[in-house]
Amino acid sequence: MNDIFNTLKASLGSTGVRGLAGPLLIVMILSMMVLPLPPFLLDILFTFNIALAIMVLLVAMNTTKPLDFAVFPAVLLISTLLRLSLNVASTRVVLLEGHTGPAAAGKVIESFGHFLVGGNYTVGLVVFIILVIINFVVITKGAGRIAEVGARFTLDAMPGKQMAIDADLNAGLIGEDVARKRRTEVAQESEFYGAMDGASKFVRGDAVAGIMIMLINVIGGLVVGMLQHDLDLATATKNYTLLTIGDGLVAQIPALVISTAAGMVVSRVASEHNIGQQLSQQLVSNPHVIVLTAAIVGMLGMIPGMPHVAFLMLAGAMGWFAFYLMQKGKQAAQAQQQQQVEEQQVLAPEAAEASWEDVSQVDVLGLEVGYRLIALVDKAQDGDLLRRIKGIRKKFTQDMGFLPPPVHIRDNLDLSPSSYRITLKGAEIGSGEAYAQQLLAINPGNVSGTLPGNPTKDPAFGLPAIWIEQNLRDQAQAMGYTVVDAGTVVATHMSHLIQTYAAELLGRQELQQLLDHLGKISPKLTEDLIPNLLPFTTVQKVLQNLLDEGMHIRDMRTILETLAEHAPRTQDPALLTSLVRIGLGAAIVQQYYPSSQELQVIGMDKELEYVLGQALQAGGAAIEPGLANTLLNEARAAAETQERLGLPTVLLVPGVIRDLLARFLKRAVPQLKVISQEEVPDFKTIRVTAMVGGRA
């Protein structure tokens, strides 16, 4: 007993009383099916059932997305079980005490049997059947179908949503915590619709059970009243039928309310507004529609034989409401116009003489947008592109090892309304179009259908894509498209470009800031190297060479130590870059082969290696045209072979010709990365899967 008490105490201490609320409620509901309940307690429980249904309906109407009421499937099961338990408990009381009169089962059942249907059990029976038909055939069937289709489409759309989250994470638009939260929401959404698909069957079963319970109660009441209590047929029919109808109505009305709440939860479209706000904004916000409706209703009211008063009163009320909306819209427009005039009437400062302050410098990084994209970069209009760009700079800093220059954003009326342009030191490095009110559905290569929209290409990576309307998001994701908004399109394009032009972003100011930061951690590294052993410009050139080939410079300790070691023997930036790459060999290999002990690489024919080595020793800086053409064709074929095999496109060559081949192949075969044999760590094994020059 002490062990049980201690276990219960520990449970209460860890979860509190709320942790026991659910189990206790289920036990109490199940006990109502077995234990007899007095009529007064039945009144309280029936009232609680009605209050619970109203509370669930109000919560469903005030949610902004289905996951805000994720516990609804469980609530649906509990409320259904509560109604059935009350039906069993009331059936027991009706059959045992029904011969005493209509008040035998409590005041609530009596009120529903007399007040709502006027004491006429025929009317009550018809009303009960109509309520059951509305609940079973209309609301529950529709909600169940929506839940079923929603569960299927949500499950089909999961891969596309996961890819969109991964794309935002890789572009630096969101952090790992936000990505984890969004993945959890995607999983919860699919589980919710799946649970609603099953939970809707509870309500349908409840409706069927209500009809069967009513028939059983009527027949059982007649048998008990006439055979056990010697009532005549008319008295037994009146007493037991009215009690049964009251019992059925008091259970079916909350069931109808719960079913309506279920339909609202699964049929609503996710929005930042609840249902009441959406109705007011989308249904009655257009005065022209209300004026047209009032005119039609007014004309119907003037037809001879129609109820003129009702139609004309409603037409007049709608006309007044439309006039009120028009006046309110005019006042808002006048207030906005007045505010713009006041802003434009701000006195300009007196013209001053030209000075050096008037000299404007070219921005290192710039983003120019057309006027329709201004909302994306305007905080007043909830534009989140500024936040996304901050995330891009932060992720770039973490990945590449230095802080890039800030991005200067401005509007450019010379651009088309939906165009944008990304500049580097005043020169355009990328441009595209983004439609603020549409979504870009990107085809990753495995979609199951086509979408209506404007075909285009993803500006960052050139993938085929379509600009679609926002209401097609779920359909596109279900087909396998990766769906992103206009802000994400621009941000991803910018993230890709600053990665590509990382070497040009490392200017003297950025390098000095990096060295100052490193000097706080390891002051001797920078003091001994610059300018005692190497000039500042040489260090900058080495780092730019590394960035130009897609390497990060996060390991500045190794880079500076390698430069300090070899600086007394050479000042050549190209040779120093090669030596630094050897020092960073493990990191370079890790970049292309993250978790592989065996490196599956592209090899080069020994004779071709010898020819290229001889050309370098003879002082040649270029490759003979015929050999260059053959080399390009062989390199492209080898890279395509690697891609078909799903392997990294990495060419392994001797160190003496690596720089020459890297420069030569960079533009012609950009996906092919060249590493030297000296850069491969000793603990790695090499397997050649394709050859360059093997067929020459």
Give the containing element (helix H, strand E) for 367.
Answer: strand 365-369
Phi, psi (deg, nearest 5) at residue 600: -95, 105
For residue range 477-516, what is the model confidence (pLDDT) as tens digits? 888 899 998 888 999 999 999 998 999 999 888 888 888 8
Which residues have C-beta within 8 Å of that of residue 125, sequence separation ≥ 6?
241, 245
pLDDT surpassing 80 at residue 54: yes
Q: Please, where are the H alpha helices in 522-624? A: 523-529, 536-548, 556-566, 573-583, 585-592, 606-617
- pLDDT of 620 reads 55
For residue range 520-579, what is the model confidence (pLDDT) as tens digits? 887 777 877 887 888 888 999 999 999 988 888 988 889 988 998 888 888 889 899 999
Q: Coil, strand or helix: which one is 588?
A: helix
- pLDDT of 467 reads 92
- pLDDT of 118 reads 61
Q: What is the band of 163 on the pLDDT scale with cuts at 50, 70, 90? A: confident
Provide the residue type at 184 as one letter: T
Contact 491, 476 (CB under 8 A): no
DSSP letters of 227-268?
A: IIS---HHHHHHHHHHHHHHHHHHHHHHHHHHHHHHHHHHHS
- pLDDT of 465 reads 92
Q: Does the CA dihedral 584-585-587-588 come out positive or negative?
A: positive
Contact 418, 436 (CB under 8 A): yes
Which top CATH class is 506-583? Answer: mainly alpha
Phi, psi (deg, nearest 5) at residue 223: -65, -45
For residue range 453-464, what is the model confidence (pLDDT) as tens digits? 899 999 888 889
For residue range 388-406, what is the model confidence (pLDDT) as tens digits? 888 888 898 988 889 898 8
Domain 594-696 in CATH 3.40.50.2300? The answer is no
Contact 567, 653 (CB under 8 A): no
Mean pLDDT of the chain: 78
CATH code linked to domain 365-503: 3.40.30.60
Burial of 198 (0-12, 13-18, 19+ CB in 10 A): middle
Q: Does the CA dihedral 302-305-307-311 come out positive or negative?
A: negative
Contact 560, 529 (CB under 8 A): yes
pTM over 0.85: no
Contact 638, 602 (CB under 8 A): yes
Phi, psi (deg, nearest 5) at residue 126: -65, -45
For residue range 353-391, what is the model confidence (pLDDT) as tens digits? 666 666 777 888 999 988 888 888 877 666 678 888 888
Tokens of 310: 């009702």
Closest residue by Cα to residue 149 from 478, 470, 483, 468: 478
Q: Does the CA dihedral 18-22-27-30 come out positive or negative?
A: positive
For residue range 70-116, what is the model confidence (pLDDT) as tens digits? 777 777 778 878 877 877 887 777 777 766 666 666 667 766 666 65
Lowest-confidence segment of 10-19, 426-435, 493-502 by average pLDDT: 10-19
- pLDDT of 10 reads 53
* DSSP letter, residue 270: P
Rounded CA-CA distance 312/295 in Å is: 10
- With tokens 């209009």, the residue in question is 381
